[in-house]
Chains A and B, each alone.
Chain A
Amino acid sequence: MRAERIRTVLGHVVLMIGVLISIFPFYWMIVIASNTSGDMFKYPPKLLPGGDLLVNMHHVLQNIDFWGSFGFTIATAAVATVLVLFFDSLAAFAFAKYDFPGKKVLFTILLATFMIPAQLSLVPSFVTLSWFGWVGSMKALVIPGAANAFGIFWMRQYASGAVPDELIQASKVDGAGFFRQYWTVGLPVLRPGLAFLGIFTFIGVWNDYLWPLIVLTDPGKVTLQVALQQLNTVVGATDYSMVMAGALMSVIPLVGIFLIGARQFIADIAAGAMKF
């Protein structure tokens, strides 16, 4: 019993050390963002948050169009999420619940596309988008990924278990066509799955960096990630506290969204891996 107890305490000690390491960079971001850049060069360093956060945030707003990028990022992530949820769940519903000629082949093709790394077509995709005249606009960020293999695969797994065949049958008997069945039977039942895919997509788009960096050629209209890196490279060397305040401002909304849905989201991530 005593040995058991020691092991439990030891387990918590290990876990707490891990938590501290996990959290420390966030804490440190707040410390630097709330002190002056001059404080950073002192030794011993300041280890506690100071009172300069608002000043630093104000400098961020003076140096980059923070609210512009913020709005653009939210709009992009929201549009991308809605498109992904609609197209992925619609395709997943068809794959999971209906039979049609060529279904197996189509699904195998879908899975095979997982193997193609996005970087292979980075250059030609950019060229293609510039032919369309989409470079520099939101279309370049949301349309190529509007229906994606991961989401369809994940939703299909979810739909085949969650949507009862009887409900679809009943709806058919009532004379509903495929799209009506999707809308009235599929969507309501798929809601928890959509919640996961929605958070996953929103976070992914919000954090995406390489692709926006390439296609958003107009420096005045960029996502938050790209704006943050502009801030970092252009004025970062002189005012580190300001850059850190910018980093903090870009992280807060996302952490907020994550914390709201965290419990279910984490469970879904783990469940996805178990299906592998």
Chain B
Amino acid sequence: MSSLQSVRDRRSAARAQADGSVKPSGLKRFGPMYAAVSPFYILFAVFGIFPVGFSIFLSFQSWDGIGKMKSVGWENYKYLLTDPQFWQSIVNTLEIWVMATVPMLFLALVVAYALHTAVRFKSFYRMAYFVPNVTSMVAMAIVFGSIFSGNFGILNDLLKSIGAGQVQWLTDPWGIKVAIAALSTWRWVGYNAIIYLAGLQAISQDVYEAAKMDGANARQTFFRITIPLMRPIILFTVITSTIGGLQLFTESQVLVGDSGGTGQSGETIVVYLWQHAFVQNQFGYGGAIGWALFILIVLFSIINWRFLRERNDDLGRKGRRLRRNSRAS
């Protein structure tokens, strides 16, 4: 790669000299490229690096954003680690994440598989499944609020019509989680299905032919060929939905308000951050919560990458071999 690059460099340099132009050096030559990429780094320095550094300082202060800052040492972190509601918000986030992600990815796989085998109406289906993903979260959270409403929700009407009991979805601790998870599942099934579909379409038909000739049945084909070959794609969706799940905010805040509803059972980590930093104006404490969230996301990213590497060594190798074979044939 790099040797190729240098050959190309030399060639273009030779061509430049053949043109008779003098090769400008240093800043004059590369200046425009640096100028072209610089906006990102400047913005990142001002709105990325500086705030991150500042938040370290801030997390040791007590400050309401208007008055004087007061240095409080480790008090914010001490309070954070001993606040049961903080731990509860982590548990809530993880529970909602599992309740949303497991059915979401499973349904997405089913939809993708059905889409893959369908011949007609493909682009209609794709559009219909994708549209929830691009509509405003606030508007749809309001709609879900009415669907799940205890007094007049269509869901309870449905339960009533089949003679089942009513559930006060939005005031029951588990009901709140179900509603938030349902909203997030509804929104992301189509997106993940479209990605899975692309993965399915990338698998060569020859691999399936070969499996058929070897006498594999549909089940074996699915678990031994489709799933291993889809591994990188599945991982992509797991990673993106983990990051998204840890940052869940709008769904909960619009459905049950600034503090997570009954028993604060809908309070996610970011809602907790919002509540303390911006509703109660505890900026110093908000800085400390930001760091806790950061550590959590890093932790999950490491777990994800571990998982990725393991799969690459183990099942990924099988997948690559299959792919290579399919390409060779």
Query: Measuring CB to CB, which residues of chain A are less than 8 angstroms from any residue of chain B?
Result: 7-8, 11-12, 14-15, 18-19, 21-23, 25-26, 28-29, 32, 40-41, 43-45, 87, 90-91, 93-95, 98-101, 103, 106, 109-110, 113, 115-128, 130, 143-149, 152, 169, 172-173, 177-179, 182, 203, 206-207, 209-210, 213-214, 224-225, 228-229, 232-233, 236, 240, 243-244, 247-248, 250-251, 254-255, 258-259, 262-263, 266, 269-271, 273-274, 276
Contact = CB atoms under 8 A, between A and B. Distances in A.
B19 A28 contact: no
B121 to A, nearest CB: 8
Majority-rule SS of A interface residues: helix
Contact of A269 (B52, B117, B147, B194): B194
B32 A214 contact: no
Given A125-B47, A244-B146, A250-B136, 14 more contacts: A19-B128, A99-B9, A100-B34, A119-B270, A120-B52, A120-B294, A123-B58, A128-B46, A143-B43, A210-B250, A232-B254, A251-B136, A251-B140, A254-B136
Contact of B139 (A103, A115, A182, A247): A247
B195 A273 contact: yes
Contacts of A101: 30
A123 B257 CA distance: 20
B247 interface: yes
A228 B232 CA distance: 39
A201 B283 CA distance: 30
Interface-centre pick from B139, B152, B293 (highest chain A CB count, 10 A): B139
A23 B128 contact: yes
Contacts of B277: 122-123
Nearest to B147: A28
Interface in B211-257: 232-233, 236-237, 243, 246-247, 249-250, 254, 257
Contacts of A254: 134-136
A94 B37 contact: yes
Contact of A45 (B12, B33, B154, B294): B154
B40 A228 contact: no
Nearest to A90: B36
B250 A123 contact: no
A101 B137 CA distance: 43
A214 B180 CA distance: 22
B97 interface: no
Contact of B298 (A115, A122, A144, A273): A115
A127 B283 contact: yes
Interface-centre pick from A8, A119, A126, A152 (highest chain B CB count, 10 A): A119
B129 interface: yes
Given A251-B136, A262-B130, A276-B236, A270 B36 contact: no
A255 B128 CA distance: 11
Contacts of A146: 39, 43
26 contacts: A7-B117, A11-B117, A14-B114, A18-B129, A25-B140, A25-B147, A91-B40, A94-B37, A106-B37, A117-B297, A119-B293, A120-B291, A120-B294, A124-B290, A152-B40, A178-B36, A209-B249, A225-B136, A250-B139, A251-B140, A254-B136, A255-B134, A262-B127, A263-B127, A270-B195, A274-B233
Contact of B286 (A122, A152, A248): A122
A85 to B, nearest CB: 12
A9 B101 CA distance: 28
B175 to A, nearest CB: 18
Interface-centre pick from A209, A224, A266 (highest chain B CB count, 10 A): A266
